[in-house]
Copies of this chain bind each other. A is one copy, B any other.
Amino acid sequence: MADYQAPLKDMNFLLYDVFSMEAMWQSMPTLSEHVDRETAQAILQECAKIAEQEIAPLSRQGDEIGVSFNDGKVTTAPGYKEAFKTYADGGWTGLGGEPDFGGMGMPKVITALHEEMLCSADIAFSLYPGLTAGAGLSIAKHATDELKERYLTRLYAGDWMATMCLTEPHSGTDLGLIYTKAIPEDDGSFAITGTKIFITAGEHDITDNIVHLVLAKLPGAPAGPRGISLFLVPKYQVNEDESLGDFNNVTCGSIEHKMGIHASATCVMNFDSSKGYLVGEENKGLACMFTMMNFERIGVGIQGIGAAERSYQNALEYAKDRLQGRSLSGAKYPEKAADPIIVHGDVRRMLLNMKALTEGSRALSTYISMTLDMATYGEGELKAKGESLSALMTPLAKAFFTDLGLDNTVAGQQVLGGHGYIREWGQEQLVRDVRIAQIYEGTNGIQAMDLLARKVAASKGELMQTFINEVNTYIEQTSADNMQEFIQPLKDANIDLAELTQHILKAAQGNIEELGTSANDYLHVFGYTAMAFVWAKMAESALAKASSSDEFYESKIKTARYYFARLLPRRLSLAASIKAGCDTLFDIDESLF
């Protein structure tokens, strides 16, 4: 496998050329206290080093050896504990954390790019700090200061890790069905009892303590999702002097054997009258858990980008090196026994698909991260726009980037031919590792329904109109002749997206099932259109530098042209499928399947 090289230049291009992040940060005072261009560049540079040099080398061995389970103990693969210590010592565990409790207060646009590098290096490793950071967000937002002092500071410091315990055997997507119980104790704590499955990093040997965020039901709580509360349940109690106290009856029953991410411990966790502390209000646990959902969801989307970037780097190296056949238009390297396969049109197609979709995803992810920062740190109109756009676009990020992540790792594998199927080349691991990202943290089908039903339809189209207006404003402002090759097709796509949205909303008034059957295709139409928007913006920024002799900008412009010519048309079939309506999906009884 090619050595991973973090795409720092592309990241800085996005931050400072395409999205003018310096001005954006300046407009948000609570953020500009902590971040400026110099700080952010240094952070990403250091992150690239640790990803390239410390984490990426663990990945193959982590896949081969995986985690092991013995008598309740989980042992991680060689090197993971040490790498995490290096990572924590570097301060990375508190990168996006609240400064009041020892975090670095970096915006999502920076933590997101840091996450991408970790995922390119090794998705399995990235999950340990990733889950901890996610749980940290819920604690920071909803827990008492006492809990934050005791637990959050230690999570930010990298002393301990955290988990999110939601799923039960019969209850995944539908969390209203959970059984885990919380019984109030006299000291204000709760005794938590129940079994949770698919718990990432539920048990391991990397840190001394593990802080579980657990969804459970109080006695007499309403049925369904409105009767669920959130609790913080440590593996070991913590004494007043911050030392570890009694074992809290949190045990690991087994670990799962999975298609990929073998180095990530996926645990069955049993809580047996374990002492827990309420986070947020009673019966509002789902809301407390979901405040961090948008941050988490985009993080899962970024797994798709990280894997795709790695896949592209591997496939590109192979395609330049592997000699087979001759170019259709005549030998390009007559001195060699054959041409490198990058001369072949179909190989170029696969490589450019990967390049255009991965760079497009990174740009769109940065844009969406920016909307999350606007919602979190902005004020007034900026905040309102950030809230609207991030609510609309985070389900897109999760599902679209992970669907493309699978496509792009499969494409990379195809470029490698037989070598793509052999474990030793590492390419097939990317396919196995990224596949889970379409499933966990809400399947991509659920994301699509969140987008279309809960966001677009529930707002009567208003949230989508916010995005369409953003694109229209950009189109109106972009009158330069050399941009019209991008602006015209973007305009068409944007008009069609608006029209398709109205079409579905109207159809759903006749039959609500139209939402369910359209959701997946609609999400992808939105994705390709939004990606056209950021590709136009990248082309514009690159054209502004085209007089420089730096090939980076020429490559951007040409990749943008490829995207508009060959990939944006994907929206056409999806729209046609939606417009065929839902009748053929429901006019067939279950017994006929």
**Chain A interface residues (CB < 8 Å from chain B):** 167, 170-174, 177, 197-198, 256-260, 316, 320, 323-325, 327-329, 337-338, 342, 344-352, 355, 406, 410, 413-414, 417-418, 420-424, 428, 431-432, 435-436, 438-440, 443-445, 448-449, 453, 511-520, 551, 554-555, 558-559, 561-562, 565-567, 569-574, 576-577, 580-588, 590-593
In the complex, how many angstroms separate the beta carbon of A358 from the nearest chain B beta carbon?
12
A562 and B581 form a contact (CB under 8 A): no
A367 to chain B: closest CB distance in Å? Answer: 24
What distance in Å separates the Cβ of A191 from its nearest Cβ neighbour in chain B?
Answer: 25
Min CB distance A272 to B, Å, is 24
In the complex, residue of chain B having the shortest beta-carbon distance to the beta carbon of A565? B580
Contact yes or no, A590 B320, CB < 8 A: yes
Q: Which residues of B contact A514 (CB under 8 A)?
A: 345
Query: How distant is the Cα of A584 from the Cα of B566 in the complex, in angstroms?
Result: 8
Q: How far apart sit A571 and B593, CA to CA, in the bound complex (Å)?
A: 25
Q: Which residue of B lies closest to A167 (CB)?
A: B418
Contact of A347 among B352, B355, B406, B445 (CB under 8 A): B445
Q: Across the two chains, which residue of chain B brings its CB closest to A344?
A: B516
Sample of 30 A–B contacts (CB below 8 Å): A172-B324, A256-B422, A256-B423, A257-B424, A258-B423, A259-B422, A259-B431, A329-B513, A344-B445, A345-B513, A345-B515, A345-B517, A352-B588, A413-B435, A413-B439, A417-B443, A431-B435, A551-B591, A555-B593, A561-B584, A562-B585, A562-B588, A565-B581, A565-B583, A565-B584, A566-B577, A566-B580, A569-B577, A571-B573, A572-B576
Q: Which of A342, A511, A590 has the most CB of B within 10 A?
A: A590
Are A435 and B421 in contact, with the CB atoms below 8 A? yes
Find chain B residues with CB under 8 A from A448 CB. Answer: 346
The list of the 4 closest CB pairs from A to B, nearest first, reads: A345-B516, A569-B576, A345-B517, A573-B573
Q: Identify which of B257, B453, B516, B593 contacts A422 (C-beta below 8 A).
A: B257
Q: In the assembly, what is the distance between CA of A562 and CA of B577, in Å?
A: 10
Taken together, the copies of this chain in the complex come to 2
Contact across chains for A346 and B554 when beta carbons are under 8 A apart: no
Which chain B residues border A569 with CB–CB below 8 Å? Answer: 573, 576-577, 580
Q: How far is the CA of A592 from the CA of B560 in the complex (A)?
A: 13
Partner of A593, one of B171, B173, B351: B351
A417 CB contacts on chain B under 8 angstroms = 172-173, 439, 443
Shortest Cβ distance from residue A231 to the other chain B in the assembled complex, whole angstroms = 22
A239 to B417, CA, bound (A): 40
Please indicate the chain B residues that have their CB under 8 angstroms from the CB of A555 in the complex.
588, 592-593
Residue of B nearest to A316 (CB): B593
Nearest opposing residue in chain B for A259, CB measure: B428
Residues on B with C-beta less than 8 A from A449 are 346
Among A350, A413, A586, A592: residue with most chain B CB under 10 A: A592
Are the CB atoms of A421 and B443 closer together than 8 Å? no
How far apart are A443's CB and chain B's nearest CB, in angstroms?
A: 6
A422–B172 CA distance with the chains assembled, in angstroms: 15
